[in-house]
Structure 1
Amino acid sequence: MVGSRPMEILLVDDSRGDARLVKEALREEAPLDTLHHVIDGVEAMAFLHRNGAYADKPRPDIVLLDLNMPKMDGREVLRAIKSDPSLKTIPVVTLTTSTQREDVDYCYSTGVNAFISKPVNLDDFIHTVRQFKQFWLSVATLPHPHAA
């Protein structure tokens, strides 16, 4: 929780199975937090700018971002977030199947706050999401949601 309110988490991932696992792992760790899920970068940017169907959605406290998606991939989303003065303070953590050095280097040079490779093993995946929750949502101090 941020202060006394639940966290708003935006998960950007085209894998519905992975999204379900993230949702379950976070629900056990943080039942009051809200996980919003979109399946590609175009939807992510609409959510972040509160366009169309996302007009009433809150600004997320943190974004969990997959890299390899259709329409607009995670690299493009990361670049768009970190170059937009109204969004750049939102922490972005990649949660991706990529283990490629060039992806890691690109993401950090573009401003990602952490790079996490998705474990293949189910128990390891859930453990990793819980570690994400423990650090980013319980230990780290996140910016105020209206910081720009």
Structure 2
Amino acid sequence: MERVLRDLLIVDDNPADVRYTEEMLKEAGVKSDRHVVGDGVEALRFLRRRGEYADAPRPDLVLLDWYLPRKDGREVLAELRADERLAGVPVVVMTGSRLEVESLRTESGGADAYTVKPIEPDELRRFAERLGGARRLA
């Protein structure tokens, strides 16, 4: 059974992590139009529909790496939550260690979920269903 998100934004500066995430989405049966940006500044431009992203769709879910160039995940998340037009966009923060996930949950708040990279297919499926409002296709 497939799950469908209209649009998914992956914010990650590591091409290998992006490829792995896309492979795990396929394995999880999550279909979506995927958009990828490599830093926090580009993520905010995409979400705010600025410049070359003027026609960008509003994503159903954002997978946000915590460590990014130009603006890190903390700054991106803070700006998203402070912008009334974007505050409701579901965000999953990705980081490199389980200890970091626990620390981020208590210190930063603001995200809908926190996880360790690489994300496993079952976890991606749960995020898509719970946060992205994914539809199931038989």
| TM-score, normalization by structure 1 | 0.77
Aligned length: 130
Distance in 2, matches of 1:33 and 1:90, equals 16
Partner of 1:107: 108
Partner of 1:146: none
Q: Is the 8 A contact 2:29 2:125 kept in 1?
A: no
Equivalent residues in 2 for 1:89-104, closer than 5 Å: 89-98=88-97, 99-100=99-100, 101-104=102-105
Instruction: Give, in angstroms, the shift of residue 22 of structure 1.
Output: 0.5
Among 120, 123, 128, which residue is 1:137 paired with? 128
Distance in 2, matches of 1:96 and 1:25, equals 16
Q: Is the 8 A contact 1:7 1:137 kept in 2?
A: no
Higher relative contact order (CA 8 A, sep 6+): 2
Misfit runs of 4+, over 6 Å: none
Distance in 2, matches of 1:31 and 1:51, equals 28
Q: Tell whether 2:15 aligns with 1:24.
A: no
Equivalent residues in 2 for 1:25-44, closer than 5 Å: 25-30=24-29, 32-44=31-43
| Percent of paired sites with the same residue | 37
Unaligned runs of 5+ in 2: 134-138
Root-mean-square deviation over aligned CA pairs: 2.1
| TM-score, normalization by structure 2 | 0.82
